[in-house]
Amino acid sequence: MPLITEKLITLKNAWMASHITDAEFPTPLSEKGLHLYQLAHSELSTHIVDSMTSSSESSLTFYPVDCHPLTIRYALVYSSYWQQEDQQQAVIEYLTQIMFDADVNAQLYVGFHKGKPAATGMIYTDIIEDKNVSLVSDIHALPLPNQTQMMLDMEQYLLSVAQQASTTVALQK
């Protein structure tokens, strides 16, 4: 894995953990959620995206997460990655702790299908070796019959957004 990719993953993971590790009184459930998130992400692979396939009409409407109600929707959809309800609850507790500052390098997205939250994704962008680089990650969709298509729609949308802002884009899945 290229050094740039490793740095991006480290920075993204540190930012994601900071919502719990920097909290004055994190709940045991949010700490468990962070552990589940980190465990799941340790098994993912990452590669640099050289070119992008042309995107077709998407079944999703995309919204950047810029308020707490969208953070909750993001958490509810993303938690469906885990099968057990107690794990889902821990991940929801963890993800709803995410706070955004004006200078944050991460942008979460929720994709709505027929007016309901159905898919998630993230772009984490930073400057490494004097270049804007982005990591597209956390792509997931509700376990519906069109789950694979929604995840592909989210991936293509985020790659398109990231490639407009960065010279190097990596995809983690």
What CATH number should be reported for the domain holding residue 145? 3.40.630.30
What residues have CB less than 8 Å from 104, skipping those under 6 apart?
15
Contact 170, 49 (CB under 8 A): yes
pLDDT per residue as tens digits for the range 118-147:
999 999 999 988 999 999 999 999 999 999
pLDDT per residue as tens digits for the range 147-168:
999 999 999 999 999 999 999 9
Domain, as residue range, for 104: 3-172
Q: Domain total for the chain?
A: 1
| pLDDT for position 53 | 62
pTM score over 0.75: yes
| pLDDT for position 129 | 86
Contact 160, 154 (CB under 8 A): no
What residues have CB less than 8 Å from 87, skipping those under 6 apart?
36, 79
- Helical pair 28-41 and 3-21, crossing angle rounded to 10 deg: 170
Residue 109, both tokens: 């997205």
